[in-house]
Amino acid sequence: MDAALDEEASAAFSEGRPEGLRLAYERFGALVYTLALRSVADAAEAEDITQQVFVAAWRGRDGFDPGRGSLGGWLVAITRNKVADALRGRQRESRLLTQITSGSVVTVFDAPADLLVDRLLLADELARLPEPQRLAMVLAFYSDLTHEQIAATLRMPLGTVKSNIRRGLARLRARLEADGAAH
């Protein structure tokens, strides 16, 4: 029975029939989710990985060859790649948070003197902000993360992240205007 279901899902998927993705998900979704959950130990992240796996599989279905292996095996390989990506992302975020909390955020390269002064002034003003505002702003502007990514990295509600950035910007503006540094 399972082999027949596997073959039906595999055929529909590889042919690109509309029900192919649904059949593949119904047949292998639990397997992909379980592998992801065991690897990342976070239900929400495992759900995201599962979605990424099936989206990537559907978009790259031309690369699936039933003659080389099963659809389940192919999906497991994609899952391993997506889990590795997620774990690398965690490591990157952890290193970034370590840099931010240690205060080594700004890297200055060869730049004109006025740009260097502006960067130092900004770095000094950022350092004066309360930590939640500073962390959110550094992640947003130096790391170019979205509000959602910042919320996930800092494990804060999205609204709190947005409020911290808005308050931080308001404080920076007020301080810079008071110092006459704002343009």
Domain termination residue (choose one: 91, 122, 142): 91
pLDDT tens digits, residue range 135-160?
A: 888 888 777 788 988 888 888 899 99
- Supply the CATH number for residue 11's domain: 1.10.1740.10
Domain membership of residue 183 (yes or no) is no
Average pLDDT value for residue range 70-89: 90
Angle, helix 158-178 to helix 113-128, in steps of 10 degrees? 120
Tell me, yes or no, whether 75 and 111 share the same domain: no
Whether residue 59 sits in one domain with residue 39: yes
60 shares a domain with 16 = yes
Q: What pLDDT does residue 55 have?
A: 93
Higher pLDDT, 64 or 123: 64
Count of structural domains within the chain: 2
3-state secondary structure 122-148: HHHHHHHCCHHHHHHHHHHHCCCCCHH
Same domain, 19 and 81: yes
- Position 110 scores a pLDDT of 52
Q: What is the pLDDT of residue 20?
A: 92
Query: Of 61, 91, 121, which residue is a domain's last?
Result: 91
Shared-domain flag, residues 108 and 82:
no
Same domain, 77 and 128: no
Of the listed ranges 49-63, 113-127, 128-142, 168-182, the least confidently predicted one is 113-127
pLDDT classification of 177: cutoffs 50, 70, 90: confident
pLDDT value for 37: 93
Element of type H or E holding 1: none
Between 107 and 50, the more confident residue is: 50
pLDDT attached to residue 144: 79
115: domain range?
Answer: 103-178
pLDDT at 36: 93
pLDDT at 108: 44
Give the pLDDT score at 112. 63
* 6 and 86, same domain (yes or no): yes
DSSP 65-106: -TTTS-HHHHHHHHHHHHHHHHHHHHHHHHHHHHHHHHT---
Residue 166 is predicted with a pLDDT of 92
pLDDT at 180: 62
Lowest mean pLDDT among 73-77, 105-109, 138-142: 105-109
132 and 156 inside one domain = yes
Question: Which tokens is 27 given?
Answer: 């047949």
148 within domain boundaries: yes
14 with 83, same domain: the answer is yes
